[in-house]
Amino acid sequence: MEKLSEFEKGHQYFRTVKFKQNEERFKKLVEEGQNPRALFIGCSDSRVMPAMITGSGPGDLFIVRNIGNFVPPFSPDNDYHATAAAIEYAVGHLEVSDIIVCGHSDCGAIKACFEEHQASEENIHTIKWLQLGEPARDMARRGLSEETLEAQRDFAEKASVVFQLENLLSYPAVRRRVDAGKLFLHGWHYNLATGEILYFDETVLEFKPLGAQS
């Protein structure tokens, strides 16, 4: 409990200050339900804070976080699919207008894709999940074979975001709304050290500083 004491203090500050400042907004969100502007698919990394880096408030983002900010391809079976379910709910029920896939620098998932791992019953799901980052890793190894491992990882982090955008289009609801011009997909890469976000410009196939398009 000692390790959680700071969280308890933080909660008390939230209740007495932050909640009070936004009390009417929270009340409205309860009464009217949520109507988020976008689905944000980000990494579980504790250093990435979606609301902070976007300046968003309560009700603005429907957030999905997983290791590597990966999007598994659509699979029409009756198994458990947490990320897929969240995508379907955000697109089909909440009818978000935008989906953001946000990768980041120093990504542990991408680093792991460049390493060898022995599968066991304790990491079987992790090893399987990391396969979603292998296409980006392979592209980095082919295209930057003469470059450093660090350069390959940086490339793979960004390339992976693009691969996840492609996987999003395998979902029938996503494809339908994108084709109808009602849903827009965005690929971002957040730099932990500088705080800068780059976005993927599909017209020139490269990442540019967010805001440069406006």
Name the amino acid, one letter, at 30. Answer: V
Q: How confident is the model at residue 1 (pLDDT cuts 50, 70, 90)?
A: low
Instruction: Give the Cα-Cα-Cα angle 158, 163, 168 (nearest 5 degrees).
Output: 125
Q: Where in the chain is the domain with CATH 3.40.1050.10?
A: 34-209
* pTM, 2 dp: 0.94
With b for 16 or more beta-carbon neighbours within 10 A and e for fewer, the 33-58 pattern comes to: eeebebbbbbbebeebebeebbebee
Q: 34-209, which class in CATH?
A: alpha beta
Using CA atoms, how far residue 76 sits from 79, 81, 129, in Å, is: 9, 10, 18
- 71 phi and psi angles, rounded to 5 deg: -120, 110
**Separation of alpha carbons 200 and 206, rounded Å:** 6
Percent of the chain with pLDDT over 90: 95
Angle in degrees, 0-180, between the axes of helices 149-168 and 134-143, rounded to the nearest 10: 130
Share the mean pLDDT of the chain: 96
Is residue 43 a contact partner of residue 68, using CB atoms and an 8 Å limit?
Answer: yes
Strand 98-104 and strand 61-66: the pairing is unpaired
> Would you say residue 213 has pLDDT above 80?
no
Q: Which residue has the tokens 């019953």?
A: 121
pLDDT tens-digit readout, 18-71: 999 999 999 999 999 999 999 999 999 999 999 999 999 999 999 999 999 999
pLDDT in tens, 71-102: 999 999 989 999 999 999 999 999 999 999 99
Strand-strand pairing, 98-104 and 184-190: parallel
Name residue, tokens 């022995």: 118
Q: What confidence category does residue 135 fall into, taking pLDDT thresholds of 50, 70 and 90?
A: very high
